[in-house]
Amino acid sequence: MLARLARRTRRTVRLLSDDATPSVPPQRIVVAVGGNALQRRGDRLTIENMLKAAKQMVPSILALRQAGHQVLLTHGNGPQVGELALERSAATFDVLGAESQGQIGYVLAQAFQSAGVDAACIVTQTAVDAGDKAFDNPTKYVGPVYGFKEAEALANQLDWTIKQDGEYYRRVVASPKPIAVLQLDAARTLLENNYPGLVVAGGGGGAPVSRVFGDVVGVEAVVDKDATGALMARELEADGFIILTDGGGIWHNFGKPDGREMKAVTPKYLKARKTGQKFPGSMGPKISAAISFVEGSSKPGAWAIIGDLNDAAELMSGAKGTKVCRDVPDDVTWHTSPPEESSPS
């Protein structure tokens, strides 16, 4: 069965890579995929369901490698770390973050190895400022979704902070800005020595730590994986940074009749319109991370792409998703023509 799966996945990768930007020279790319990609809404959070979702994700990631690109993969952990917190209420989130890296890393390694590709999953710590203002306003969603009454009861019983997530409610925790990924040199060594497998690092944003009187100590938080991905991409001098979502790229008036998806956009345009700031628990951090990488990179041609996981093979060609870079005609282009009465905001 595994042999058939591996052959089928390799065949899918070859087909995907035939369409995946043949004119683009090999580049170093950091790819960030959300924890929800390993936990579909409505599915029970089990290793079996996570592995099933991971195997569905494998061809999209391997298509980039098959096209000759060097890939470092990072991942979210929102559903998983929240579930672990329910099981072990006495554990702190830095410990739970490390545990989720091991759990998800195991699932990813198994999925990629079933497809014939080795994977090195590094448990990483991410340094944050213990005085970060993010601790005063938790925004990071963790764990399962709840109805209003159940969420209210849990908040009162367990002293949780609860916020609305679409039509449901979820627990939120602090998400401070990452300052450094402490094990990044291990990932760099693997990449620079052309490790033939897939490098996975910074999972769940990394286990959050801070220095207190010289000692490294854990911090009660969950670092945003996109912010950590952007930091790793800059430090590794990556050419590009891809953020894979379950809802496509950056939209103007998403879900409305005049909604349209950006094809390419400058950080200047996004910042001027405060794009994504109304969605601090979803698209907002992704846009901020893309801007952070492009503006902070030492490479003039640095780019970031936000797009759907299912469109991964088409993102670098510009056929799907939104590319964020410094040089875009009129600061923004669109996948579709705008309605006459519409103006971007």
The pLDDT of residue 23:
55
pLDDT at 21: 41
The answer to whether residues 51 and 111 touch, using CB atoms and an 8 Å cutoff, is yes
Enumerate residue ranges in the chain where pLDDT < 70: 1-24, 40-42, 337-345
Report the Cα–Cα distance between both ends of the chain, in Å, rounded: 51
pLDDT score for 66 = 87
Residue pair 247/308 in contact by the 8 Å Cβ criterion: yes
The pTM (predicted TM-score) of the whole model is 0.86
Task: Tell me if residue 36 is catalytic.
Answer: yes
Question: What was the pLDDT predicted at 278?
Answer: 84
**Rounded to an integer, what is the distance from CA 187 to the centroid of its chain?**
17
Q: Which of 34, 82, 97, 140 is catalytic?
A: 140
Q: Which residue ranges form the domains of the chain, and what is each CATH number? A: 29-122+183-334 (3.40.1160.10)
Q: 140 an active-site residue?
A: yes
Catalytic option among 82, 225, 248, 284: 225
The span from the CA of 11 to the CA of 168, in Å, is 39
Q: Express each pLDDT in 49-89 by its tens digit.
A: 999 989 988 998 998 888 889 999 999 998 899 889 989 88
CA-CA distances (angstroms) from residue 335 to 153, 186, 260? 44, 39, 7
Whole-number pLDDT of residue 123:
97
Residue type, 29: I
Judge contact between 3 and 275, C-beta under 8 A.
no
Give yes or no: 286 in active site: yes
Q: Which of 286, 307, 321, 323 is catalytic?
A: 286
- Annotated catalytic residue, options 36, 49, 116, 177: 36
225 is catalytic: yes
The catalytically annotated residue of 35, 78, 249, 284 is: 35
* Phi, psi at 106, each rounded to 5°: -60, -45
